[in-house]
Chains A and B, each alone.
Chain A
Amino acid sequence: MTWAEQLLQCLKANDVNMAIYVPDEVLTPLINGADSDPDMIAFAASREEEAIGISAGAALGGTRSVVLMQSSGFGNSVNALASLVVPYQLPVVMIIGERGVLGEFNSVQVPISRTIRPSLDALGIPHRTLERLEDVTPTASKVVQQAFQTHSPAVLFINPLLTGGKEDR
């Protein structure tokens, strides 16, 4: 199975049935997979903090969801995490396609990518980076399971080593 098929399977195994995304090219297989899955509803939000608000609302309403974004979108997410998700202890799971690392061609992607892990650490949000195909299912299932069981947000990074990254064209 591809990384995207593994992730989708693992989300569904954890009763996640909503995917809210702001598009990212490397995440496209996962977005499309969720979109065409009859058990999932998938839709775009206009901005990452909005996506996090919707995911938080879904959690309050008793539905498990996931937020898909590009690493640059983390910059648009911070206040929603800091003043909603963390203090209200909401299980918002974010899958972040990583730009700005390993073979990046566009320098504007680099600075924000350096802020993400330190910011997550400062906020106390656990994160794992997926780099190898064989780690996807075991790591992602445990991260997703823990997030919902402990009412805590969590982040999975989708690294270029896993996806091949984005080509300059």
Chain B
Amino acid sequence: MSARDDLKVMSRNDLTKRLVGKLEHDEAVVAGIGNTNFDLLDAGHRPQNFYMLGSMGLAAPIALGVALAQPERNVVALEGDGSILMNLGTLTTIASLAPLNLTVVIWDNGLYQITGMQTTATSTVTDIVAVAAGCGIAQSSWATDEAHFEQLVNNAVSTPGPHFIAARVDEAAATARPERNPVLWKDRFMIGIDAKPAAG
């Protein structure tokens, strides 16, 4: 039994669009493997988006690296529950370093959806928000509904972090697909966050 049991199940695609709608200051978004980055693209490509085509579980570490490199820019990591479970240790690193400009958002569908709908531990026994809080990320919350999610995102991008937000989401298959061209996305992202000039 976890706090998760009573929470509203929302549309991942809709929540991703609501998240992106709240990003008004060229915040960087690092989106994890599969549905997570497919839906980010579906919300409309932004030059500050990084699409992770492999490296399951590394969205939060990559976002942490970007956040440390660019302390003036807010950075959001988007991960699935299965993906964060692969690398829970990173929550302890984030808590220790406590970057003011980092937010981790978890889409918790209780599944390894894209590989065949196998259940994850969050579907039964593990409360990922309690895990994050236990790792030392004090500002860790479940989104109870869409309006609350938007409020949490507003708070995350306007007050010192680190922040951790989890939402229970549905199992609708994402339809968008980023072009499978890693170097293209790297270059666009680096230009989008001013880590590299657009020409030269």
Contacts and interface: CB of A to CB of B under 8 A. Distances in A.
B176 to A, nearest CB: 20
Contacts of B182: 87-89
Interface of B: 28, 30, 50, 52-58, 60-70, 87, 89-90, 92-93, 96-97, 182-183, 185-186, 189-190, 193-196
Given A57-B30, A62-B190, A80-B58, A87 B53 contact: yes
A144 interface: no
B62 A54 contact: yes
A57 B66 contact: yes
A60 B61 contact: no
Given A55-B65, A57-B63, A61-B195, A50 B89 contact: yes
A79 B89 contact: no
Nearest to B60: A53
B61 A41 contact: no
A65 to B, nearest CB: 7
A45 B69 contact: no
Nearest to A53: B61
Given A60-B65, A62-B195, A43 B97 contact: yes
A54 B66 CA distance: 8
Nearest to A87: B182
* Most chain A CB neighbours (cut-off 10 Å) among B30, B64, B92: B64
A107 interface: no
A51 B68 CA distance: 13
A47 B65 contact: no
29 contacts: A45-B61, A46-B90, A47-B87, A50-B90, A52-B58, A53-B55, A53-B58, A53-B90, A54-B61, A54-B65, A56-B58, A56-B62, A57-B66, A57-B68, A58-B69, A60-B65, A61-B28, A61-B66, A61-B67, A62-B69, A62-B193, A63-B69, A65-B65, A79-B54, A83-B55, A84-B54, A84-B55, A87-B53, A88-B182
A18 interface: yes
B58 A41 contact: no
Contact of A90 (B52, B89, B93, B186): B186
Nearest to A43: B97
Nearest to B193: A61
Contacts of B28: 61
Nearest to A54: B65
Contacts of A43: 93, 96-97
B190 A46 contact: no
Contacts of B63: 57
A83 B93 contact: no
A57 B53 contact: no
B181 to A, nearest CB: 9
Interface string A70-88: 0000000001101110011
A49 B54 contact: no
Contacts of A89: 182-183, 186
A84 B54 CA distance: 7
Contacts of A45: 61, 89-90, 93
A23 to B, nearest CB: 14
Given A56-B58, A57-B65, A83-B53, 10 more contacts: A18-B69, A45-B90, A50-B90, A53-B64, A57-B30, A57-B64, A57-B68, A61-B70, A80-B55, A89-B183
Contacts of A51: 61
A41 B54 CA distance: 28
A59 interface: yes
